[in-house]
Amino acid sequence: ISLWWALVVKIADLYFLDSAKILQKRLQIEYNILNVNIKKMSKNSYRIYKGPFNNLDSIKRAYNDINKLNFENIEIIKLWERF
């Protein structure tokens, strides 16, 4: 098993998959924020994030775009994947 990580902008952690899908769709349709993904973190935890990004300028622009929406806990984090 190998690990891979990428930098992403974490938008929210939600308890229900349905809520995560609704937020994902609203971000894409109402705010034109594309490349929004959902990752299952545990049995009842779903992370909404934008990315992955391969350079600092693009992650900075994405963070600033999302920050304008006044979400409480926007973060730039490493998202780990197993292959």
Give the Cα separation of 72 and 51 in Å (integer): 19
Q: Is the pLDDT of residue 83 over 60?
A: no
Q: Is the pLDDT of residue 5 over 60?
A: yes
Give the Cα separation of 49 and 36 in Å (integer): 6
Six-digit token string for 23: 């937020």
pTM exceeding the 0.75 threshold for the entire prediction? yes
- pLDDT of 54-78, one tens digit each? 888 899 999 998 988 888 889 998 8
Residue 41 backbone dihedrals phi, psi, to 5 degrees: -95, -35
Mean pLDDT score of the chain: 88
**How far is CA 12 from each of CA 38, 45, 49, 52, rounded to the nearest angstrom?**
10, 10, 7, 15
